[in-house]
Amino acid sequence: MAKEWQVYIVRCNDSTLYTGCTNDLKKRELLHNIGKGARYTRNRRPVRVVYTEEFGSKGEALRREYEIKQMTREEKEELIKKNKVKIEAEFDLIKGK
């Protein structure tokens, strides 16, 4: 099964973290940055994706999103740190670098 759903964390302009779930990460990041994403991010733009995980179903992704939202900021920062290299490589590919 293709990995169609992603859980992501964005770092907002005020350094806070927001966790969400989507089936189109590029579009979702754009929506956050034009003020049409989550209410939480509207006044904290720009946002930057700093973490992603892929899942085969929406249900799996939503369960993981909930798990991440229950984490402390320190736990989320550790998750981000461990996956930083992976994210940078993926977005370089998306942006054609």
The pTM assigned to this predicted structure is 0.84
The reported pLDDT for the residue numbered 43 is 95
The reported pLDDT for the residue numbered 60 is 98
Integer CA distances (angstroms), 8 to 14, 74, in order: 18, 16
List, for residues 48-68, the tens digit of each pLDDT value. Answer: 999 999 999 999 999 999 999
- Identify the residue with better confidence: 93 or 84: 84
Mean pLDDT, rounded, of the chain:
91
Total domains in the fold of the chain: 1
Domain range enclosing 36: 5-94
State the CATH number of the domain containing residue 55: 3.40.1440.10
Q: Which helix (H) or strand (E) holds 82?
A: helix 73-94
Q: Which helix (H) or strand (E) holds 58?
A: helix 58-69
